[in-house]
Structure formats: structure tokens, C-alpha cells
Chain A
């Protein structure tokens, strides 16, 4: 009776679908511990040699990692500021053209990254003082903004604004109301949105590969460049570490807001 509605067909397809989704990632983890020279499955033995090679090999992946972290951190912090204010403006107040403003705030989502990357490449080429770092930063600022705004808005839509009035009527000034009442209540949503946006920027490779230079490479661009010439399990080792980090972030998000909030 319990699973009567779920017939064997949907069970079978589910097994297929999740094998399809997970297999490449599981295989990456397995081959990263291979002790042999090339990519082998099953591995000829277990070793950490490819993990060592991340640091000892010719490509300075640590520098790329540092660059990616820097871009992602600055872009996320900047966007939290402007994004939370923007979300407040369209959730707290009801006015004509509100829907239009929301569409405007999330507009970068509707433009293909490749087109925006190309436009940035052309327009920033004319500005001499812009370094590859600042170009990539500007690109990332824009493309992660909609995610911060949508995440914050989804929290604010269900927010009970009367608690603000209550605080104000008890004598709190607007700054106190915001920092002592509103901010603590919406903080979990902001943090989870920030972590997702950070990860999006960290993993982003379209804008980065268009605006990069030999002097400033992000980790995903380094991986793409490396794959062009070498096909050993080094990238598998890096990928395994990054996937482990993503897993930690997912557990943290689950703790802050629950994974259900990510389903929409």
C-alpha cells in the first residue's frame, strides 16, 4: 500500500537518472587517488601523488585559488550591501512599478553570460586603468547580484513588518530598528544567499576566461587551460577537494535555513 502509487517504472528511471547525475562526480573522486601515470579505471593502486602534484606541478594552482577566493569574496560582500537594500525597497514598500523594478534588479539572469562577457571584454578594453582583476570583479558583481536579491527577497516576502513598528513605537530609531530587529531576523537568509553567490562566483568560468590575462588567472580558468595540454588526474584531485568544500557549504546552508529553501 505504502508505495503503491510509485510503480516500478518510476523507480527504475530514478535509479538511472541519479546514476547519470552522480557517476561522473564519483568517478572523479576514485581516479584522483590513482597511483598510476594516467587516468585508469579501476585505479591500479591508491596514492595521494596527484594531490601532491597540485602543489609541486608546473601550474601554480594555489595562486589561482587565491585569485578566485579574492574575486568571490569582494563581489559577494559588495553585492550583499547593495542587494539587501534593493530587496528591502521592493518588499517593504508597495508602489506602482514594483514588479518592473524587481525585473530590473534580476535582469542579468536573462542575458546569456557569453554575451555579457563579450560586451565587457569590448567596453573595458577602452578603459586603460582597468586590470584583469577589476574587470572580472565587475562581471562577477553583476551576474551574482540577482541570486543575492532573489534569496533575500524570498525571506523578506514572509517577513512580518509589524515587529519594526513595534520596536519603533517603543522608542527605537530607524537605525536601531534595522540593526537590532530586522537584520538579525533576515540574517540566515542573507548568509545562505551569500554562500551560494560566493560559490557561483568562485566556480564561474565564462566571464573569467574572456577577461583573464596570463597575469591574473582564476582557478576554473587554470583548470580549463591545463586540460588543453595535459590530461592526468591532477584536475581530478583538485575537483575532489572543491567538491568536498561544496559539501561542507551545503551542510552549512542546511543548518542555517534548511535545504527546502533551495528547492524554489
Chain B
């Protein structure tokens, strides 16, 4: 039972991450491989504040979101000016730099040893420490993020995002401030990803840079693409699928030494097959199709 709860909590975390990336990638067409950096910043913010200052839950969460949004501005400002491939490479660069900082700024982040013993959050006077508690917290936040995203997407702002995705120049010629919209959604996506990171830090109570690498960004991208870019429920499906299927590999009797690699192979294959046969994912409305 505990195991099932654990899986559900992880799914919840990745639903948040997936939805946030979907806003940026699926709805606006910005292929970003930097998302794990924002996720990681949220985690590190929550961890550091919790460890050093024992700040309350709301403060840590807000700090995580704000830190990620600041990083979002730093990454977005130079990168969003670039088109397509160059944008991807730029986000890749920032992801690597962020990881490098996490790994090498030992005095601040603990470096490769990570930050152990992160205090668990206290929400409305109750300390969240059991699996059930985290399940409730994770899915409550996931629901909030989902509703927020859905409101955003159904708003006029959301329509502009889709216009940007379909034809950026046309959107601009119709008077939409494309640059600002892209920056806004990029920063919002970063902030939402941080929420997932905070939950991760509180749940596992230990973080280190290896959880926030390019592979993690690719995993989040796979969730969005598998579920369907441009469809929020798709991100939920994607998260469910990509978190639970590798776990099922465990029961097939695969030795743990090769499980990690097999999992990665699964993601890679999923990406390739999706691109070949179903670029719109399971239930997506957007196909990443060429111009």
C-alpha cells in the first residue's frame, strides 16, 4: 500500500511539472529543456530555507516559486529572442549551467553531497509526514496548478499563446506583444515547476544535483509529448504513464542494475516512436508539425 501511495505521490509531482511544461511547450510551442533547472531551484529553495531558517510552508513555497521565476527571467531574456533550434540549445545551456552551479557551489548548495534532513512541511498546523499526508498535499497542489493552468489556457492570454505557437510572425503583425507573452508564460511555467520541486524536496527529505539534470528535463518533455502537447489532461496521462510503466518493469523481474538504463531506453524509444507515428501524443491537439 505504501508503495502504491509512493507512486501516486510521484505521479502528482510530475503532473505539476508536466502541466507547467505543457504551458510553455505544448501551448506556446517553446521547446525548453531547462525545466528541470526550475524544478531544481524550487527544491533547493525549499530545502535551504527549511534547513537554515525553518521557515513556514507557505514562505518556503513562495520563495521557491519566486526563485524559479527569477531564474526564468534570467534564462528567458536571452533565449526567447532566439528561434526554434537555437532556443532549445540555449535552454540546454542554461540547464547545464544551473546543474553545474548546484554541483559546484558547495558552500551554498552542499555540492554533490546534497542537502539531507530537509524538515517536513507544516500545513495548517499539521505536520505532513505520512504517505497519506503527502498524497493529500501533492494532489491538492496538483489540482490547484491544473485549475490555474486551465483558466490561463482558456483566457484570451491562452489564445494568444496558441497563436504564437502556430505563427509567431502573424501574431505579432496582429498587434500582439509576442515577446512579452513568451516571457510571461516561460516565467509562469518556471514558477509552477518549482512547486513540484518543493514537494519533491519535502517528500524525499534529501536532494542532490543528480535529480535535476538534463535527463530529468527530457523526462518532463517526454511526459508532455506523450500525453499530448496542448492538452492539460494529456500531461496527467503522460505523468501516469511514464511514472508507472517503468515501475512495472520492477515486477517483471528486471535486475536493478539494469533497471535505470532500461527506464531511460524506454523514454528514448517513446520519444522516437512518438515522433515517427504520433507527434500529437495520446490526446494532444498540437502536432509540432513543420511550417
A and B form one complex: no
Chain B residues at the A interface, C-beta cutoff of 8 Å: none
Chain A residues at the B interface, C-beta cutoff of 8 Å: none
